[in-house]
Structure 1
């Protein structure tokens, strides 16, 4: 019985840790999307590549 309680506590801690990490990753993804939209809006280019995105002739 003690082993079962130990494993259940361990699994509970692992699930709680994964939930925290998932929440952090979701917030990071939302922040990255917001920054990308802000960058696209500030350059006025949207998704079209600009001169800085072109590869040099030797590639």
Structure 2
């Protein structure tokens, strides 16, 4: 947040995962990134819906 590296987002079959960077957590004012995570989940749901529709049309 605010151009500070906070961690890494990965995706696997179980969904998205976020791992905070230890330096970020130990910084003076770490801020949570929940809004970004929620937005990513919504985008993933939209993309999966589009993919399912595409597959059904074939």
Q: Normalising by the residue count of structure 2, what TM-score does the alignment of the two structures yield?
A: 0.48
| Larger helix proportion of the pair | 1
| Larger strand proportion of the pair | 2
Q: Normalising by the residue count of structure 1, what TM-score does the alignment of the two structures yield?
A: 0.48
Higher relative contact order (CA 8 A, sep 6+): 2
